Amino acid sequence: MCGIVGYVGKKEVVPILIDGLRRLEYRGYDSAGIALLDKGNLTVAKSKGKVELLDNSVNRSHYSGTVGIGHTRWATHGEPSVTNAHPHTDCSKSIAIVHNGIIENYLELKEKLIKEGHKFRSKTDSEVIAHLIEKYYKGNLEKAVLSSIKKLKGSYAIAVITKDEPHKVVAVKCGSPLIVGIGKEENFVASDVPAILTHTRKVIYLHDYDVVVLNEKKVQIKNIKGKNVNRRVEKITWDINAAEKGGYSHFMLKEIEEQPDVILNIIKRRIDDKRRIFFDELKLNKNDFKSIKKITIIACGTAWHAGLIGKYLIEKHARIPVEVDLSSEYRYRKPPSIKNELVIAVSQSGETADTLAALRLARHNKLKVITVCNVIGSSMVRESDSVIYTHAGPEIGVASTKAYTAQISIFYLLAVHLAFLRGVIGRNTEHKLVKEFEELPKLITRILNNKKDIESCAEKYKQASSFLYLGRNINYPTALEGALKLKEISYIHAEGCSAGEMKHGPIALVDEKLPTVCIAPKSVTYEKMLSNIQELKARCGIVVSVATERDNIIKKHSDYVIHIPKVNEDLSCILATIPLQLLAYYMAVAKGRDVDRPRNLAKSVTVE
């Protein structure tokens, strides 16, 4: 939930840290801070709010140093304030630490440290780390870090510096992401790749309990026993431009517009020239797929909506029963497992705490787990039996957009692939379904070309204080996703419902002030949606329909119609999502919200 960065080299460290923090801001933006080693002194600068405020408050000419650490915070313990901002220091202000995660036993540790004479300044759980390291420090920082982490319970990625060893950064990871960047006469640690990508493409994804010692010449990784370990150096192939706004006013808009390319990329990677689907990286063979008796999908938030769509697709095409669970529920409800059950974890980040815990539980119960993920080398990827990458490129906007349509695309192709492997369909049907999928980039572009129309719709209804979203069948999850997008970035209350459930309660909300977004493309449930729309109009409700082009009937009963091109019903959930993303985006912009960094949220929820 927080972002950390560390540097050791020959360059001025402040601009490197500030730039790194800006690129990690999607992880939290309640406060920001840096600590650097400056001519034998440890200097700390912090500010409440976004990194920009820290940058404005730091007079760069006053600082000079080539070793430092930085932090951008998503508050868990203690309100957003300068005192609670990281870096935190020990009593003598010789050691500074930054931390991402939660120290679950911090109260107990804090009490003990206070009894031993340590003076605490903040309300955070993280400050105990600085005092523990102080307690164990006997002239060797990595040894003190090793002793300290043995006392910690919870999740953490930590970077530490001390003025007594001014040429090194020590960092450690357990449960929260941390990478090492290897440069020429300079080395880095960071929570995520964009923070260091302008400096190096050579990256190591650390494992839990790896303790890394960086100086400008060397990167040394030890395990919890203090023994050296080797980790593979990976080369990042994507460009930093992919993680920059590139002229767009917001990452979210850029990421919405990238969706045709994301799907083209999926086509390139997953479909051969005979229109056959392949998932080469899956370590399961044909017989493994044939013997699957049940699939359980686990995910949170938007990824859970993609999972719900996955259920429709897999059950329809491959005829395998699918259960979809919120990871936070799955992990506590003691789910019974059956022989030949497969678990699919879905996550953009691969770091979401609940999904990671649910995945671990599934593996503990001896189930095979495939993770559908966007972030290469993330924790879930490392802990799964197999991975299917969505390859959507870095998603920075807190509201998930392109990762979602990429996840649905993967489910569509996987469902068709499973159907073929299990003999439910032949090559001809596979060919036909793939051909329809290949049309998507063109069709999405058509919707994007019409975004002025969606902007006008947002303008018209931006004063509404609440919205209802209705859909049926495969577009029921689309309604849930549309409502989630609207509430998270515009702060307008929104509720997504299955249209069939409307009469069982939500209809009581309908009046002349409530807009209902009805997702009603041509489909087997089209007539039913039309009835729902008429029922809404009979109660003076405002109806905004998402309908198939040239649908003249729906026009007569709606206050506003957003058109999407004609497409097979399975894929309508991808096309219908695009206008809903844009509607939420324009609504948030019209209300002056911070679209990419909505209040109280963080991109990656690495705490429970």
| Residues 6+ away with beta carbon under 8 Å from 423 | none
- Between 87 and 598, CB nearer to ligand M6R: 598
**Which one, 129 or 399, has the nearer CB to ligand M6R?**
399
Are the C-beta atoms of 107 and 135 separated by less than 8 Å?
no
Residue 244 DSSP class: S
User: Which has the closest alpha carbon to 4: 134, 161, 221?
Assistant: 161
DSSP 277: B
CB of 480 to ligand M6R, least distance (A): 11
Distance CA 383, CA 129 (A): 27
Residue keyed to tokens 């919405």:
256
Q: How far is CA 267 from the centre of its chain?
A: 23
Q: What tokens were used for 229?
A: 């370990």
Tokens 């966007």 -> residue: 374
Q: How many Cβ atoms are within 10 Å of 121's Cβ, its own excluded?
A: 12
Kindly report the backbone phi and psi dihedral angles of residue 344, in degrees, each rounded to the nearest multiple of 5, phi listed first.
-115, 115
Burial class (CB in 10 A: 0-12, 13-18, 19+), 317: buried
Q: What is the 3-state secondary structure (H, E, C) of 453-500?
A: HHHHHHHHHCCCCEEEEEECHHHHHHHHHHHHHHHHHHCCEEEEEEHH
Which residue numbers are catalytic? 2, 603
Q: Residues with Cβ < 8 Å from 129, sequence gap 6 or more? A: 88, 97, 99, 103, 148, 152, 156, 158, 160
Closest distance between ligand M6R and the C-beta of residue 608, in Å? 12
- The partner residues of 38 in beta bridges, in order of sequence, read 41
**Which residues bind to ligand M6R, rule: CB under 6 A?**
300-303, 347-349, 352, 355, 398-400, 488, 604-605
Q: How far is the CB of 400 from ligand M6R (least distance, A)?
A: 4
By beta-carbon proximity to ligand M6R, the closer residue of 66 and 302 is: 302
Q: Which residue in 155, 156, 160 sits closest to 170, CA to CA?
A: 160
Task: Identify the CA nearest to 42 among candidates 4, 82, 15, 69.
Answer: 69
Q: Note the helical H segments in 35-105.
A: 51-57
Given the complex with ligand M6R, which of 328 and 548 has the nearer CB atom? 328
For residue 605, the one-letter residue type is V
Residue nearer to ligand M6R on the CB measure, 216 or 596: 596
Residue type, 571: L
- Residues paired with 256 in a beta bridge: none
Q: Where are the beta strands (DSSP E) in 206-335?
A: 211-214, 219-222, 234-235, 294-299, 322-326
Q: How far is the CB of 401 from ligand M6R (least distance, A)?
A: 8
Instruction: Kindly tell me which of 72 and 378 has the beta carbon lying closer to ligand M6R.
Output: 378
Report, in Å, the least distance between residue 555 CB and ligand M6R.
31
Confirm if 584 and 399 have CB atoms less than 8 A apart. Answer: yes
Burial readout 509-540 (b: 16 or more C-beta within 10 A, e: otherwise)? bbeeebbbbbbbbbbebbeebbebbeebbeee
Whole-number minimum distance, CB 591 to ligand M6R, in Å? 17
* Between 146 and 372, CB nearer to ligand M6R: 372
Of 486, 491, 493, give the one whose Cα is nearest residue 581.
Answer: 486
β-bridge mates for residue 561, sequence order: 545
Q: Which is nearer to ligand M6R, 358 or 447 (CB)?
A: 358
Q: Which residue is nearest to ligand M6R (CB)?
A: 301
Task: Please say whether the dihedral angle defined by the alpha carbons of residues 265, 270, 272 and 275, taken in this order, is positive or negative.
Answer: negative
Q: What is the DSSP letter of 387?
A: E
